[in-house]
Amino acid sequence: MEAIRSPEIDKVYGGANGIYGIISQQIADLSGQVRTTEDFKLLETTPGMALGSCRFKLPPAENDTKVYEKLVKIFHSYNIGYFLYIGGSNSMDTVWKLSRYLKDKEEDIKVLGVPKSVDNDLSGTDHTPGFGSAAKFIATSTEEIIRDSEAYPISSVTIIEVMGKESGWLTAASILPRHFGENAPHLVYLPEVPFSMGQFINDVQETMKKERAVVVVVSEGLKFSDGSYVAQPSDGAGGYSSVGQVLERALVSTIGGKVRSVVLNVLQRCSGHLLSAADITEARRLGTYAVRDALAGETGKVLVFSRVSDSPYLINIETVPVEQVLSAGIKGFPLEWISPENNDLTQKALDYLLPLIDGEVEYSCKAGMPVHFRFDLTPCPPPEKAGLEG
């Protein structure tokens, strides 16, 4: 919205499926598609990626200059002077490679990275937009599963599997119900620390001595001490079996009784009915700052959140060099926030998470169903087509 309002920007374009869409000239004119504040609010509350997503990574410029030369031609043809790229680590890699190439070629095109990732594993920033709403969904789902598990007068174990192959930020969000008086989840396991099947079974048995309905939350990426995944690959395409089901079978074969596993799956990243107002507000602020920084001449940088305090919750928005973000690698969950037994989290984790889910967001409905915003991503021709063949 900031870009559309800016008198210094004539057109706002969007590439379908990220940089892949730019390279293949699947470029849509977005300028007239968000006309009102209501349109923008509808876009804010629509789940998923409005422009689509991709896993495509630019090759190093020293190995392949053709794709960079083509991108420059496309940028020139569309009179693009600012390229803002939204996403996680792969997207920031694109920002780094592209901004370096443009600088080396003395091209006056500004490139900035705007973080967005439900995984919250991008280094250099306190958190990423998208994580707060995903955390709210996980926390709410956990609380509802707790209620359901208590409905029966028999002993039971419910295992909730949460996204997170390399980092446990999303799984950590499951402890948020404790702030509101819940005793569960009783056990939480993150991929940052080694997992022991024997210790897990013992943890559950000990907890069952005190609790009738035991709730356990686990990250999908749990690993044993030798580095192998608890849930090994289930096919040749890189897919994995469910860690929740693996642990469910282990408990059934050892302690018996009522055991079930619940996999939240893609709902964690596309549930538009449980948005965090704090998350939506911060995403809007970050986008606004990104446009202003680009207009001010910033390039090769990433906008980040810097937390001032937990309570009252205060953050600053800053820019840091993109190579600083990438060189730090994946941001794992802090080990000091994990209990010594590796099966629970500390109060510090709760203090960090709580402000990120604050506030409710109203979303538009029609005939009882949510209304979603959809861009028309029909490619538009550039003002000049010269030099874009091939």
Q: Please identify every residue annotated as catalytic.
A: 119
Q: How far apart are CA 349 and CA 333, in angstroms?
A: 9
Which tokens sit at 258?
């009522």
Which tokens sit at 185?
């989840």
C-alpha distances in Å from residue 307, one per residue of 136, 184, 290: 19, 28, 18
Q: How far apart are CA 357 and CA 322, in angstroms?
A: 27
Q: Could you give phi then psi for residue 106, rounded to 5 degrees?
A: 60, 40
Task: Name the β-bridge partners of 13.
Answer: 29
Which single residue is written with the structure tokens 């000990």?
206
Q: How far apart are CA 182 and CA 283, in angstroms?
A: 30
Which tokens sit at 236?
């040749």
DSSP 232: -
Nearest CA to 39 out of 313, 285, 364, 350 is that of 364
Strands (E), 211-280: 213-219, 258-263
Give every CB contact of residue 136 below 8 A, 6+ residues apart in sequence.
173, 274, 275, 276, 279, 357
First CA to last CA across the chain, in angstroms? 34
Give kind and range of the element (H or E) at residue 309: strand 301-309
Give every CB contact of residue 376 below 8 A, 6+ residues apart in sequence.
28, 33
Does the bond joining 185 to the residue before it have cis omega, within 30 degrees of 0?
yes
Is residue 139 a contact partner of residue 196, using CB atoms and an 8 Å limit? Answer: no
Is residue 75 a contact partner of residue 42, using CB atoms and an 8 Å limit? Answer: no
Residue type, position 198, single letter: G
Q: How many CB atoms lie within 10 A of CB 360?
A: 11
Which tokens sit at 131?
């994580």
Which tokens sit at 24?
């293949």
